DNA sequence: ATAGGGTTAG
């Protein structure tokens, strides 16, 4: 500090008075909230601990040792800012108004650090009012700490508002644990949370999917009497929905006296997350009946449900509804629409939406790329990928999953390797389990079993049961029983309770005639009480979803369906159909085998579709498992005999059947 | 001075 600045203490006091007058005039704030303090002893040693009476009010001037006020500045590395010292005096004499507007217009954290230092050097260094604004500014930039300290610790007794904002800041950044811990800290410090607090801490519990923390906070909601606040209830519904506790979520929702769009959306998102898609769609109907308007978030959930169910007609209706109500198609909705059309089997409509979307981000592009990928249209997938790059967007891990699955479905092994390497070398995306999974699948199906196994053994992510399962599937296709025996124990080690693997293994043993091993697998399943996942197919006719299980006779048109299949069987025989009995893994006679094949769920769904729609309508069937070789064959026949285009989505991809040919080229 | 819900893969 220079000699001059030590100068006239009386002048400094005069300035304080002038400043207060201005401040009070400008903000008309109560005197108490403007307890001015000065922190710098550099003005004059005569100021030390001298209370000043001004305009009849008491302003307390604390003269802190300069060291103290610089502690935080040091942490901010602001000692680098040498020009600061030069302007000390002008800084100290600026009105409160200046700091407030500076904080409001502040555009970077660096700038904020400078303001912070200036404030600590000003008359307002201890003003709770200004420090709260300062702390809030940090939080708005997503900075809950400065150096090692919580931003709230710059104030001795931070107001509840600041605790809330800090908890929110952590939650928004995805630092859920920190957010929750801070909430507990707050309670320990004797603060009482309010409704705002809960709407910030509950999403943090939801983000962690921690029902334990969620329940604990829920108890506090009751304890502090916030259980009637609609924001809090919505946050609770969201929490329980994300944690899979749909019963609790539903109950909270039902008990709401007035339901709003957001609370419906929270429940609907929970239903979608729990794969309860028809539940989500009926909630949408419920909303319409209750006169609650849906918005873009509602429609995202609706479209996700349609996509998962393969309900194209309902999806189209939803799209139309979006246009009719002029809600505007934002990035979320755009991607959800593209995904819906693609997953419902209409890649053409997906492309139309994509082309019409004015703003496209990485997710939009990825949605259409994945769409082409699962339809086995790898060339489109790749060309869009390249267009995306030339538009200046960087592909992410998901984009590569889409491109790689496309190549995998087409057996484009060379291309696959090329992009697998490009991914890391050109785009810095580290291959994750999903990418290895695509590669193993691709290599395995192309018959490169050795290369596939090698890739698994040397990958630096720990392989999961799905990856080994992909290889085992390839062993089955290429009848490599020796490798299968090596792979089986690896899978059982990682995932001993999955019925699917046991079935796959038993089938492989059956194909190689090892019936004792088959029996062992079956016993194994029984002992572990593992249930085979039943295969189901569904088809949408006039907006209604019809579900079929194998041998299902519960449908009201069951009789006609079975009759149709009998009839078509004869026609198929004339055209040269021979059942692929190898796919039946039971030790039964051939006739029974044929019988077992003929009522697979997809055939029932297709027969029903043909019977209940007009000629020329495209049939779209969704199936939870992969379509079997014999069904694939039969559907080809049906598409020709009945002159129907049939689109089947199985667990892996789409098959478009037309005129006796499938788009997959029998490679899947 | 602060509020809830959402996009792409497997």
Other CB atoms within 10 Å distance of the CB of residue A491 = 24
| Cα(A596)–Cα(A581) distance, integer angstroms | 9
| Cα(A448)–Cα(A450) distance, integer angstroms | 6
Other CB atoms within 10 Å distance of the CB of residue A245 = 18
Q: Are A511 and A585 in contact (CB under 8 A)?
A: yes
Q: How many angstroms is C1' of B2 away from CA of A196?
A: 7
Asked if residue A308 keeps its beta carbon closer than 7 A to nucleic acid strand B, the reply is no
At A447, list the tokens: 């018959």
Q: Domains in chain A and their CATH numbers?
A: 118-257 (1.25.40), 431-533 (1.25.40.10), 536-662 (no CATH)
Asked if residue A465 keeps its beta carbon closer than 7 A to nucleic acid strand B, the reply is no
pLDDT tier, A191 (very low <50, low <70, confident <90, very high otherwise)? very high
pLDDT at position A428: 94
pLDDT in tens, A24-65: 333 333 222 233 333 332 232 223 222 322 222 212 222 233
Q: Is pLDDT larger for residue A333 or for residue A513?
A: A333
pLDDT higher than 70, residue A269: yes
pLDDT at position A266: 97
Q: Are A111 and A78 in contact (CB under 8 A)?
A: no
| Cα(A467)–Cα(A465) distance, integer angstroms | 5
pLDDT at position A497: 85
What is the DSSP pairing of strand A661-662 with strand A145-146?
unpaired
pLDDT at position A78: 38
Helix axes A109-120, A96-105, angle to 10 degrees: 170
pLDDT in tens, A296-310: 999 999 999 999 999
Nucleotides of B under 7 A from a protein CB: 1-10
Asked if residue A100 keeps its beta carbon closer than 7 A to nucleic acid strand B, the reply is no
Q: What 3-state class would DSSP assign to A303?
A: helix
pLDDT at position A46: 26
Please report, to the nearest 10 degrees, the dihedral formed by the alpha carbons of residues A411, A412, A416, A418 taken in order. Answer: 160
Sign, CA dihedral A188-A193-A196-A200, equals positive
| Residue A112 CA to its chain's centroid (Å) | 33
pLDDT in tens, A477-501: 898 989 998 998 899 899 888 888 8
Q: Could you write out the three-class secondary structure of A66-81?
A: HHHHHHHHHHCCHHHC
Q: Which residue is nearest to nucleotide B9 (CA to C1')?
A: A398
- Of A38-42, A169-173, A603-607, minimum mean pLDDT range: A38-42
Q: What 3-state class would DSSP assign to A57?
A: strand
Q: Is pLDDT larger for residue A170 or for residue A3?
A: A170
Asked if residue A161 keeps its beta carbon closer than 7 A to nucleic acid strand B, the reply is yes
Place of tokens 């060291």: A67
pLDDT in tens, A118-153: 998 888 888 999 999 999 999 999 999 988 888 999
């Amino acid at each position: 500090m220079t000699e001059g600045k030590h100068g006239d203490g009386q002048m400094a006091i005069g300035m304080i008075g002038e400043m207060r007058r201005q401040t009070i005039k400008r903000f008309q704030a109560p005197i108490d909230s403007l307890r001015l303090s000065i922190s710098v002893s550099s003005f004059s040693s005569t100021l030390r601990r001298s209370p000043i009476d001004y305009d009849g009010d008491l302003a307390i001037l604390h003269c802190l040792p300069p060291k103290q006020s610089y502690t935080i500045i040091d942490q901010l590395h602001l000692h680098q800012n040498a020009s600061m010292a030069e302007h000390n005096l002008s800084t100290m004499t600026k009105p409160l108004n200046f700091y407030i507007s500076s904080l409001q217009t502040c555009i970077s954290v660096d700038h904020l650090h400078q303001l912070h230092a200036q404030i600590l050097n000003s008359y307002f260094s201890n003003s709770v009012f200004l420090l709260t604004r300062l702390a809030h500014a940090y939080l708005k930039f997503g900075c809950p700490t400065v150096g090692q300290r919580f931003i709230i610790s710059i104030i001795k007794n931070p107001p509840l508002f600041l605790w809330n904002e800090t908890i929110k800041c952590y939650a928004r950044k995805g630092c859920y644990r920190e957010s929750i811990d801070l909430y507990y800290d707050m309670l320990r410090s004797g603060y009482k949370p309010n409704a705002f607090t809960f709407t910030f801490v509950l999403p943090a519990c939801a983000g962690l999917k921690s029902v334990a923390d969620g329940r604990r906070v829920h108890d506090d909601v009751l304890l502090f009497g916030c259980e009637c606040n609609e924001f809090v209830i919505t946050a609770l519904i969201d929490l329980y929905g994300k944690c899979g506790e749909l019963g609790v979520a539903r109950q909270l929702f039902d008990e709401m006296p007035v339901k709003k769009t957001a609370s419906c959306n929270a429940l609907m998102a929970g239903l979608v997350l729990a794969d309860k898609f028809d539940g989500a769609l009926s909630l949408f109907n419920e909303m319409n009946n209750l006169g609650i308007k849906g918005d873009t978030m509602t429609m995202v959930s609706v479209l996700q449900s349609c996509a998962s169910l393969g309900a194209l007609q309902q999806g189209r209706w939803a799209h139309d509804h979006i246009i009719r109500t002029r809600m505007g198609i934002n990035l979320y909705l755009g991607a959800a629409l593209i995904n819906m059309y693609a997953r419902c089997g209409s890649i053409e409509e997906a492309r139309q939406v994509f082309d019409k979307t004015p703003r496209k981000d990485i997710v939009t592009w990825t949605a259409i790329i994945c769409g082409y990928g699962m339809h086995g249209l790898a060339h489109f997938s790749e060309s869009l990928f390249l267009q995306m790059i030339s538009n200046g967007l960087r592909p992410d891990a998901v984009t590569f999953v889409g491109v790689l699955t496309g190549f995998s479905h087409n057996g484009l092994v060379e291309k696959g390797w090329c992009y697998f390497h490009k991914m890391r070398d050109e785009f810095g995306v580290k291959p994750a389990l999903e990418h290895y999974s695509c590669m193993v699948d691709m290599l395995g199906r192309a018959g490169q079993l050795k290369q596939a196994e090698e890739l698994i053994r040397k990958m630096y992510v720990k392989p999961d049961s799905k990856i080994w399962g992909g290889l085992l599937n390839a062993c089955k296709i290429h009848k490599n029983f020796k490798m299968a025996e090596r792979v089986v124990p690896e899978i059982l080690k990682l995932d001993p309770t999955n019925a699917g693997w046991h079935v796959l293994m038993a089938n492989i043993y059956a194909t190689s005639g090892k019936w004792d091993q088959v029996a062992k697998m079956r016993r194994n399943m029984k002992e572990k009480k593992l249930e085979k996942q039943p295969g189901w197919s569904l088809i949408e006719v006039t907006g209604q979803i019809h579900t079929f299980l194998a041998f299902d006779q519960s449908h009201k048109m069951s009789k006609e369906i079975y009759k149709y299949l009998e009839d078509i069987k004869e026609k198929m025989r004339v055209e040269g159909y021979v059942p692929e009995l190898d796919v039946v893994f039971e030790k039964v006679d051939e006739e029974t085998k044929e019988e077992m094949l003929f009522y697979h769920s997809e055939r029932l769904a297709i027969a029903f579709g043909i019977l209940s729609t007009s000629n020329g309508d495209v049939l779209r069937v969704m199936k939870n498992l992969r379509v079997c070789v014999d069904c694939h064959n039969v559907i080809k026949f049906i598409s020709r005999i009945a002159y129907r285009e049939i689109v089947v989505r199985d667990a892996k991809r789409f098959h478009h059947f037309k005129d006796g040919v499938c788009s997959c080229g029998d490679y899947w």
